[in-house]
C-alpha cells in the first residue's frame, strides 16, 4: 500500500493541512511542537481508529473546536487499486467511511491500510507495564491476520460477562452458570495465547535475522511469552481445577484472575532480561528491531505495511543510521520519518543513499 494524500482539518494544531506523498521514503522536518508527530498520529488514526498518544478524543481537536476530520487516499500497488478512508468526529459521534461508504467492519481497513509506528514512547515496550507489551503482541497478530479481530471481540465480551457475573452475584452465585463462563474464557484465552505465541516466534526470528544482516550479529534477542496462569497446552481438567482455586479471590476482587488479558512478554538480550540488564541504547535497539519485524512478517494478501518513524532515530550514531537506512532502502514498504530541523546528519545520509527521498517541511 502507498499513502498518496493526507488531509487534516481541526486536528491537533492543524486548521486545514494537506500533504502529498510521492516517494517510497519521505522525511518530514520541522521545529519541535509544530505538528510532526500529529501527522504520524493522523495516519495511525486512519488505520486503528484511535490515537497512540491519548485516549481522550478532546485532545485531538484543535483548540477552540469540537470536531475534526481526517482523510487518506492510498493505492494498492500489487492490485493497482485506489481507496480512501475518512474519519469525522462531531457532536460526540465518530463517522468512518471507506471509499465514500459507511464502514461495515474495521477488518475491511486492517486488511488494506496497515500502519506500524515507531516513537520515543515505544521504549516502554521494554520498561513499561504488561498492557503495552500485550498491545504490541496483539498488533502483530492483527497485522498478520486481520480476521483475528473477531476472536479479540469475543474475548472482550466473554471477559466482560464473567466479570459482571462476579460483581452482580456476590453472595448467591450460580456456580453452574459461572462454570460455563469460566469454560468460555479458558477456551478463548487459549486461542489468543496460541496466536500470540506463534507470532512472537516469527518476530523473534525476524529480529535476530535483522541483527545478523545489519548489525553484525552482536546480540541475540529472545522473546518469552509469560501467561499469568500457564493454561496453554495443559489438560483442561487440570486448568479448571487451578481456576477453581481462584474463585474466592475472584469473588472478592470482582474480576477474573486468569486469561489472556493478564499475560506478559519478557525480552532478553544475550540471555539476560533486557528491562534490567540492557542499556538504554540496547533497549531502544530492541524496540526498533521488534517494530521493523512487524513489516517483515509474511501476510496472505502480500500487504506491505507503512512504517512511521517519529523522531526515534535522531540520536543513533552514524554507523547505526547507515545500517538502518540501508534496510529502509532495501524494502518496498512506504516509510515516513520525522526529524527536527537541526538533524541535518540524518537528512544528508538519506539523500546520499537515495536521491529520490522526498523532503517535506512541516
Question: Using CB atoms within 10 A of its CB, is residue 53 exposed (0-12), middle (13-18) or buried (19+)?
Answer: middle
pLDDT above 70 for 276: yes
In this prediction, residues 218-245 reach a mean pLDDT of: 82
Instruction: With CA atoms as reference, report the closest residue to 305 among 119, 138, 116.
Output: 116
Residue 250 C-alpha cell reads as 475472584
Under 8 Å between Cβ of 113 and 71: no
Average pLDDT of the chain to the nearest whole number: 92
Which sign, positive or negative, has the C-alpha torsion 305, 336, 220, 208? positive
User: Per-residue confidence at 174, pLDDT binned at 50, 70, 90?
Assistant: confident
CA distances 156 to 129, 161, 189, 291, 354, Å, are 20, 9, 10, 25, 46
Determine the Cα–Cα distance for residues 167 and 30; give it in Å rounded to an integer: 51
Under 8 Å between Cβ of 67 and 2: no
State in words which class domain 1-114+303-362 has: alpha beta
State in words which class domain 124-301 has: mainly alpha
Residue 228 C-alpha cell reads as 499469568
Please state the domain extents for the chain: 1-114+303-362, 124-301
pLDDT above 70 for 301: no
Task: Give me the percent of the chain exceeding a pLDDT of 90.
Answer: 72
Instruction: Say which residue, 284 or 314, is predicted with more confidence.
Output: 284
In the beta sheet, which residues pair with residue 88? 69, 95
Residues 6+ apart with CB under 8 A from 132: 124, 125
Residue 61 carries which DSSP code?
A: B
pTM summary value? 0.93
Residues 6+ apart with CB under 8 A from 153: none
- The mean-pLDDT minimum among 103-112, 125-134, 343-352 falls in 343-352
Question: Using CB atoms within 10 A of its CB, is residue 35 exposed (0-12), middle (13-18) or buried (19+)?
Answer: buried
Residue 148 C-alpha cell reads as 483475528
Task: Give me the percent of the chain exceeding a pLDDT of 70.
Answer: 97
Coil, strand or helix at 94: strand
pLDDT above 80 for 78: no
Amino acid at each position: 500500500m502507498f499513502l498518496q494524500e493526507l488531509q487534516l482539518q481541526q486536528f491537533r494544531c492543524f486548521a486545514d493541512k494537506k500533504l502529498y506523498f510521492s516517494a517510497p521514503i519521505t522525511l518530514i522536518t520541522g521545529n519541535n511542537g509544530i505538528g510532526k508527530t500529529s501527522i504520524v498520529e493522523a495516519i495511525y488514526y486512519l488505520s486503528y481508529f484511535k490515537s497512540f498518544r491519548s485516549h481522550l478524543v478532546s485532545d485531538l481537536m484543535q483548540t477552540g473546536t469540537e470536531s475534526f476530520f481526517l482523510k487518506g487516499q492510498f493505492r494498492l500497488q500489487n492490485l493497482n487499486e485506489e481507496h480512501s478512508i475518512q474519519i469525522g468526529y462531531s457532536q460526540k459521534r465518530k463517522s468512518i467511511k471507506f471509499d465514500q461508504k459507511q464502514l461495515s467492519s474495521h477488518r475491511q481497513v486492517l486488511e488494506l491500510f496497515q500502519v506500524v509506528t515507531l516513537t520515543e514512547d515505544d521504549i516502554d515496550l521494554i520498561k513499561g507495564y504488561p498492557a503495552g507489551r500485550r498491545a504490541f503482541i496483539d498488533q502483530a497478530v492483527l497485522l498478520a491476520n486481520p480476521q483475528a479481530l473477531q476472536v479479540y471481540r469475543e474475548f472482550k465480551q466473554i471477559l466482560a460477562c464473567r466479570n459482571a457475573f462476579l460483581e452482580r452475584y456476590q453472595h448467591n452465585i450460580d456456580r453452574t452458570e459461572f462454570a460455563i463462563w469460566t469454560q468460555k474464557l479458558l477456551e478463548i484465552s487459549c486461542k489468543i495465547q496460541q496466536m500470540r505465541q506463534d507470532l512472537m516466534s516469527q518476530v523473534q526470528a525476524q529480529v535476530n535475522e535483522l541483527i545478523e544482516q545489519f548489525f553484525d550479529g552482536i546480540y541475540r534477542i529472545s522473546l518469552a511469552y509469560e501467561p499469568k496462569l500457564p493454561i496453554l497446552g495443559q489438560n483442561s481438567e487440570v486448568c479448571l481445577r487451578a481456576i477453581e482455586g481462584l474463585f474466592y479471590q475472584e469473588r472478592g476482587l470482582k474480576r477474573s484472575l486468569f486469561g489472556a488479558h493478564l499475560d506478559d512478554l519478557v525480552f532478553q538480550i544475550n540471555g539476560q532480561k533486557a528491562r534490567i540488564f540492557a542499556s538504554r541504547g540496547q533497549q531502544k535497539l530492541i524496540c526498533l528491531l521488534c517494530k521493523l519485524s512487524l513489516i517483515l512478517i509474511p501476510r496472505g494478501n502480500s500487504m506491505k505495511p507503512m512504517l512511521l518513524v517519529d523522531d526515534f532515530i535522531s540520536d543513533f550514531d552514524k554507523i547505526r543510521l547507515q545500517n538502518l537506512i540501508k534496510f529502509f532502502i532495501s524494502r518496498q514498504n512506504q516509510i515516513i520519518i520525522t526529524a527536527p530541523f537541526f538533524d541535518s546528519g540524518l537528512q544528508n545520509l538519506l539523500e546520499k543513499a537515495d536521491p529520490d527521498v522526498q523532503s517535506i517541511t512541516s
